Structure 1
Amino acid sequence: GKAKQKRVDLRLVGLALVITSDGGIPLLSHPYPGDRPDVTQFPGVIDDLVDRYRSVAAGIEGATIVYDAGQNSAANHAHIEAARIGFVGSLPPSDHPALLTVPADAYHRVDDPRLPGMRAYDTEVDALGVRRRAIVTHSASLHAAQSRGFDQTLDKARDRLGALQVRLARGRTRRDRAAVEREIEQICAPRWVAEVLTVTLTGTTAAELRLRYRTDRHARRQLEDRMFGKRILFTNRTDWPVARVIAAYRSQSDIESGFRQLKDPQVISFSPMHHWTDQKIRVHVFYSVLALTVAHLMRREAADAGLHLSVRELLAELAGIEETVLLYHDGTKGRPRAQRMLTDHSDTAEQLARLFGIDRYAPTR
């Protein structure tokens, strides 16, 4: 496989995590070889989760697993249905065009302070071999972000087409028509660009080739109305309010935060991992996830006490509590008198010290 960190000297390892929605506390970790697609590991993680949950709870029906569309497949969803577990996932909007054409007046405002500007349409849909509840959401902030991003993509495509147009007009190319068409196809390959840009190539020989392109403003508006800001959520929690389903799906940001923490080279770093055997790699994964668990438990406890800090900020504050040794010599013979005391530290560090009981290890005068 190819590592995102561009490391070619280390083993490539995949890691699946199951975390709580309250504080992002890791409950289950599952390492696997990095050359396997993530979607193939999903059933094994579900089986482990169900087995562990049943060992400590009366039934699995109260649990709800939240995951993204990258794990979607008919086989994986059949696995979830067979486990009789609650789920909140998402569906690719392009696979359900009928839901994207629902008029704007069919959407209702989601009355929840956590979801400003959110509107939703509650219905049912046939997907992944079953018919389940679907909630089509429209976020004003996501709409604006997608619109800005797409405009940047369009600008880049137009710049490249403009450069190609000038090159062809000067007759400065020896490539045949097929090669130029491949370049145009590559330029228009980013999502939705081909829907909005109309490109015309005329001529047969290299000297005759000419290029024209234009932006279809009407198609751009239609695309924005149809796609931007929308997401299709898929769940079997029919009794949950719409706001709770949306908030559950958004909680995936907590696990992304956990992975970012593991990639932090300074605090709770997973890599570099200088191990080559499967056994040692599993041990490395175990203590890395254990460290992440302890750090997130500490962060949640601090948040419950009114101290809202990131893991890096929390550990930095605790690291500011240091002990120093002062040596006093009265000028006579003999060993100098030693006194241990804490250095000055912030009020936040003092609160954390009391919260975690660190003061019991502090030196006393």
Structure 2
Amino acid sequence: MATLQKRKSRGHNYWSIVESRRVNGKPRPVILEYLGSAATLLERLKEGIPKKVHSYSHGLGAIMLDIAEELQVVPSINRQIKSKQLRNGFTVGGSLLLAAIGRVGKPTSKRGWYEGWARYTSLSYLLRMSLNKLDSQHFWDQMEAFPLAAIHQVEEDILKVLIEKEGITLDTLLYDTSNFFTYIDSNNQRCSLAQRGRNKQKRMDLRQFGLLLLVSRDQIPLFHQVYQGNLSDKGVFKDNLQKILARFKSIAGSLENITLIFDQGNNSKEILKDVDKNIHFIGALSPYQHKDLIKEANNNLNIISVNDYELECYRLRTRIWELDLTCVVYISEKLRKGQIKGLKQDIKKIFAKLRKLKEKIQQPTKGKKRTKDEIEEKIKSLIPENLIGWKLEPLKEDAFDLDFWVDKKEFDLLNHKFGRRILITNQHDWSTKEIILAYWGQSKIESVFKRIKNPFHLALRPQYHWTDQKIEVHGFICLLALLLVMVASKRAREKVGFTGTPDVLLEKLSAIRLTTFIENPLQKTKGRYKTVYRLEEMDPDIQALAEGMGLSELKLKTKIPFSVYN
């Protein structure tokens, strides 16, 4: 409980509000506010002190609205809405933007958007609109009004504004796909997107949908497509390649200075030919399908320095699949260690099975007699060829003893083959270092997928929609959220020198809080209460972030047209 405390300094009495708190395990008075002398305190009491105080999370919502206003997100969506419907005073574009900001702040169901998150933020003050009616039905109705055919056009319109205002470079495009499991019932026939397939989160028991994503070097999403969960990566790449090319021809005017980066899972002879004649690219090949190239590289490795790493690599220009390509073979130490670790785990599992078999065959059978040939066939089915040596010796009747070991020579030979990567490109003028660094950029899009599978911010899940149209619009909302966050992250790096991850940035922005004071009326106001808005005191790093991002200058009303169609 807070109490008044008097302290004497240089013969004068001063008053403070203090509270007893434990410091290092002992109760100590902690000063909450200095009130000054008795005369000063009396003057403050006459003028009136705050009667009510409310505090709201402010920074995250304010920044997202500011970026959305600059990128003209709501007008871009509203231009594609034919019905021009309003729900609870909001346009379709306004509702979808609020849903996207909700995914940034706290991924939750549409039902939990207000009660679970928005009511604790300053969004109502910034919009000057009530949000308590925005329930699940509100968002479903607004999502239903958004035509799927308009998604790519809206995305393109936003990107054109983004490139103009933020100077996003399109010289390198990073491509990848992933999938997301759902809890859609197996008997649901109204959803064709969610299908069973090889799920990357090991949920093969559930239906899933896929997401194709193309990002810039700044991890800003430039193109996306939701697709059926049972399609192969190669098929998805082939089906969407022309859409991708058309998007960037429209935005950049030419594909001459653009390089597309993708991994080996998207390769085929037909696809590479189509890519090669349209755009510069860097891809990868499987070492197991090009053993002669690996053998040649192993005999001609040279050491180069790439970002403080010493890499053994080999470069040549050759024809692969009837294409003139530059190949770079290099040894990835991280990949090599991972492959060795995986091999040791496989050997451990095989040894466990062999030990179990050994115990079993050491005892004679009571029924049908086992034969040596049968046991040998069983052993051969358990072990990889040449890697594990074994010896089977008869004991008595149909009992046998089994001895087994790792063939060190064969293991060392595999170790010598591990860690090889083959990169291919039609950028013949690029240096080996440039080719490797560009391909390493794939890690950026992989981190994007990790981010949208993170349950705390930007998560694509949970998604409780079970129709194709809702799932696709939900995907658009989540990618819009990612776009806003990555633009905010870019600005924080450039304006403040922020070096943390986007997740850390969102936590710091959420810590910037807006406080409202409802003060007692003064005599001159004739009984009217006065509301004062202030930002709470912040730690120095958050204060610097707020000032650099323009949050210290209170802007308490957005200019986004949430309630009108232009």
- Give the TM-score normalised by structure 2: 0.56
SS of equivalent residue, structure 1 residue 36: coil
- Whether the 8 Å CA contact 2:276–2:426 is kept in 1: the answer is no
Match of 1:256 among 443, 446, 468: 446
Match of 1:80 among 244, 264, 275: 275
Match of 2:499 among 298, 301, 308: 308
The two structures, once aligned, show a CA RMSD in angstroms of 3.2
The Cα of 1:59 is off from its aligned counterpart by: 2.0
Letter in 2 for 1:12: Q
- Whether the 8 Å CA contact 2:297–2:313 is kept in 1: the answer is no
Equivalent residue number for residue 322 of structure 1: 513
The answer to whether structure 1 residue 232 and structure 2 residue 422 are counterparts is yes
The Cα of 1:163 is off from its aligned counterpart by: 2.8
Equivalent residue number for residue 283 of structure 1: 473
Letter in 1 for 2:410: A
Distance in 2 between residues matched to 1:289 and 1:206, nearest whole Å: 69
SS of equivalent residue, structure 1 residue 298: helix
Q: 1:10 to 1:287 in 2, by over 3 A?
A: farther
Structure showing greater relative contact order (alpha-carbon pairs closer than 8 Å, 6 or more residues apart): 2
- Whether the 8 Å CA contact 1:117–1:141 is kept in 2: the answer is no
Equivalent residue number for residue 309 of structure 2: 116
SS of equivalent residue, structure 1 residue 45: helix
Map 1:72-151 onto structure 2 (within 5 A).
Answer: 72-83=267-278, 85-102=279-296, 106-112=300-306, 114=307, 116-151=309-344
Distance in 1 between residues matched to 2:366 and 2:425, nearest whole Å: 54
- Whether the 8 Å CA contact 2:312–2:331 is kept in 1: the answer is yes
Unaligned runs of 5+ in 2: 1-195, 557-566
SS of equivalent residue, structure 1 residue 106: coil
Distance in 2 between residues matched to 1:32 and 1:323, nearest whole Å: 41
Farther-moved stretch of structure 1 (278-287 vs 125-134): 125-134
Q: 1:315 to 1:103 in 2, by over 3 A?
A: closer
Cα-to-partner distance string for 1:46-88 (whole Å, 9 max, x where unaligned): 21111011112232121111111111111211221232x1111
- Whether the 8 Å CA contact 1:24–1:296 is kept in 2: the answer is yes
Cα-to-partner distance string for 1:284-336 (whole Å, 9 max, x where unaligned): 11111111111112222222342112121010000000122345559999676
Letter in 2 for 1:249: Y
Distance in 2 between residues matched to 1:181 and 1:76, nearest whole Å: 45
The Cα of 1:181 is off from its aligned counterpart by: 6.3
The answer to whether structure 1 residue 343 and structure 2 residue 536 are counterparts is yes
The answer to whether structure 1 residue 214 and structure 2 residue 410 are counterparts is no
- Whether the 8 Å CA contact 1:132–1:236 is kept in 2: the answer is yes
Farther-moved stretch of structure 1 (263-272 vs 123-132): 123-132
Letter in 1 for 2:212: A
Farther-moved stretch of structure 1 (163-172 vs 130-139): 163-172
Distance in 1 between residues matched to 2:428 and 2:463, nearest whole Å: 44
Match of 2:252 among 43, 57, 60: 57
Distance in 1 between residues matched to 2:299 and 2:214, nearest whole Å: 38
Distance in 1 between residues matched to 2:286 and 2:366, nearest whole Å: 41
Cα-to-partner distance string for 1:136-159 (whole Å, 9 max, x where unaligned): 101334434433443333233223
- Whether the 8 Å CA contact 1:11–1:275 is kept in 2: the answer is no
Distance in 1 between residues matched to 2:399 and 2:365, nearest whole Å: 11
Q: Bigger radius of gyration, 1 or 2?
A: 2
Equivalent residue number for residue 35 of structure 1: 230
The Cα of 1:34 is off from its aligned counterpart by: 0.7
Q: 1:196 to 1:16 in 2, by over 3 A?
A: same
Q: 1:289 to 1:280 in 2, by over 3 A?
A: same
Letter in 1 for 2:430: W
Equivalent residue number for residue 348 of structure 2: 155
Distance in 2 between residues matched to 1:313 and 1:271, nearest whole Å: 20
The answer to whether structure 1 residue 16 and structure 2 residue 212 are counterparts is yes
Q: 1:355 to 1:49 in 2, by over 3 A?
A: farther
Equivalent residue number for residue 293 of structure 1: 483
Distance in 2 between residues matched to 1:61 and 1:337, nearest whole Å: 61
Letter in 2 for 1:72: N
Cα-to-partner distance string for 1:125-184 (whole Å, 9 max, x where unaligned): 443342411111013344344334433332332233223222222347989679866764
SS of equivalent residue, structure 1 residue 111: strand
Q: 1:338 to 1:182 in 2, by over 3 A?
A: farther
Letter in 2 for 1:158: F
Farther-moved stretch of structure 1 (28-37 vs 96-105): 96-105
- Whether the 8 Å CA contact 1:138–1:230 is kept in 2: the answer is yes
- Whether the 8 Å CA contact 2:324–2:426 is kept in 1: the answer is no
- Give the TM-score normalised by structure 1: 0.85
Distance in 2 between residues matched to 1:195 and 1:288, nearest whole Å: 50
Farther-moved stretch of structure 1 (205-214 vs 45-54): 205-214
Distance in 1 between residues matched to 2:268 and 2:350, nearest whole Å: 33
- Whether the 8 Å CA contact 1:110–1:119 is kept in 2: the answer is yes
Equivalent residue number for residue 352 of structure 1: 545
SS of equivalent residue, structure 2 residue 423: strand
- Whether the 8 Å CA contact 2:318–2:325 is kept in 1: the answer is yes
Unaligned runs of 5+ in 1: none
